[in-house]
Amino acid sequence: MNYIGTPPPLNPAITATKHYFQALDNFTRTFAFRAGDRVLMLTDPLLDPRVVDAISGHAKARGATLSAFMAPSTTLPGVPDEVKPLIQAATFVVSTWFCSIEDPFNVAMRKAGQRWVKITYFRDLDLLHTPQARFPIDLVGEIIRATERKFPKGQDFTLRFSDARGSDLTIPYTTAMRDPMFAGNRWRGMMTADEPGCYIHYLPTHGPNFWDSTAMKNDTNAVLPINGVLYPQWAIGFERPFAENIAVEFKDKFVTAVHGESDDAKALRDMLVGGKLIEGGGCGFNPKAPRHTIYPAGSNSPGALHFGIDLAKPSDFIRKVMPNWEEPPVHQDLVSFDMTVTAGDNVVIDAGLLTALRDPQVIEAASRYGDPVDLLEGFVY
C-alpha cells in the first residue's frame, strides 16, 4: 500500500518558466550595470564559463564593457600586483576570489566608490533554477533590516551565543563598534550593486556577519575579549555532522583548546588551536537556501550560523578533503543550526529560528509575494 499524505511536486512544465524568470529578475537587478561601466571579472579555472557568458551578455545589453582575469585558484591571500591596475581601471568588479572582502587594496577601492559583487554562490549557471535564486531579493533585504533592529543602538551591549550543548561565547559590543559594523550596504539590506562602494553577495543567500573586523574599522589585529566555548555541530570539509559534542574554547578571539576524543575532534584540534576568530556569527538570510548544505562557507538558511576562523597554519586535512575548495587551507567555518543569540536583552535567534522572520514588517513585505508562512518558514531541508 502506498501512503500519500502530501501533494506531489508540480510538473516542471507548469512552474519552470515562471520560476526561471523570477530568478532572472533577481540576477539583472543585482548586477546593476550602467552604460559606460567598466566591468572586471576576477575568475578561476573551475568557474562555470556560462556564468561569465551570462554576466558578459548582461553587461553588453546595458552598454557596459567587460574584461576578465583568471587566477590559478580562488585562494589568493591578496591581490597580485599585476592585477591591481586592472582593478583600478574598473568601475564594477565581479569576483570569485577569497581575498575580495578583506584585502586592504579592495577595501580602498570600494571606499573610492567601486561596486563589487562576490559570486561564491553562483559558480554554476544551473543555480538559476533553484528556490534560493528566485527568492525575492527585496524580501531578503527586509529580513536583514529586521535583524539589524535587534542590535541595541546608542549603548554598549553583550552579544551572546548559546545552545543546549553548552556553548557560551560572548562578544562585548560598544557603540563605537556597532556604528561601523552596521553602516555598510549589506546590513542596510541593499541587495543590488547600484550604490557606490557596495559589496553584494550573489546568489542572495550569504548574509552579513553579526561581528567581524568591520566593527574594528577593518583592523584585523585589534584586541577584543571574545571569550567562551562553542560546541559546533559541523564544519566545512567534514562529511557529516559531528557525532560527538566537541568543545572549542576561545580566549581573546583565539582558539586555545579543542576537547573531544573522536577522529573529528582530533582533526579539529590539529587544525584550530592557535587560530583566530574573524567572523563571529555569519548568518544566513534566505529561507529557501538548503538548511543542511554547508559547503562552501556555511549554511545560508536563516538562523544557521557559521564562525570563521583563520588558522595558525595551513591545514593538511583541508588540503586532502577539499583540494579545490574556494577558500584557502588557512580558514575554517564552524557551523551550528540551533543556537540562541541575544544582543543585550533582545533575542536575535531563538534555538535556530531567526526571529526577524516573524517581524510584522517582514511578514507584511512577504505577503506581497505569496503566503508569508510558506515564504519565510518553509525551509528547504
Please provide the distance, in angstroms rounded to a whole number, between the alpha carbons at the two ends of the chain. 27
Residue 3, burial from CB neighbour count under 10 angstroms (0-12, 13-18, 19+): exposed
Write out the three cell numbers for 202: 550573489
Residue 377, burial from CB neighbour count under 10 angstroms (0-12, 13-18, 19+): middle
Tens-place pLDDT, residues 82-97? 999 999 999 999 999 9
Instruction: Name the segment(s) of the chain with CATH classification 3.40.50.2300.
Output: 12-129
Tens-place pLDDT, residues 183-231? 989 999 999 999 999 999 999 878 799 999 889 888 888 889 999 999 9
Lowest-pLDDT range of 19-23, 326-330, 338-342: 326-330
Question: What does the pLDDT average to over 55-71?
Answer: 98
Among residues 379, 215, 208, the alpha carbon closest in space to that of 306 is found at 208
Please check whether residue 233 is in contact with residue 242, taking contact to mean a CB–CB distance below 8 angstroms: yes
Distance CA 192, CA 204 (A): 10
Residue corresponding to grid cell 548574509:
207
CA within 13 Å, CB half, 183: 13
Distance CA 251, CA 92 (A): 39
Say which residue, 19 or 15, is predicted with more confidence. 19
Nearest 5°: the CA angle 247, 334, 44 is 155
Question: CATH homologous superfamily for 12-129?
Answer: Response regulator (3.40.50.2300)
CA within 13 Å, CB half, 375: 22
Mean residue pLDDT across the chain? 95
Tens-place pLDDT, residues 128-185? 999 999 999 999 999 999 999 999 999 999 999 999 999 999 999 999 999 999 998 9
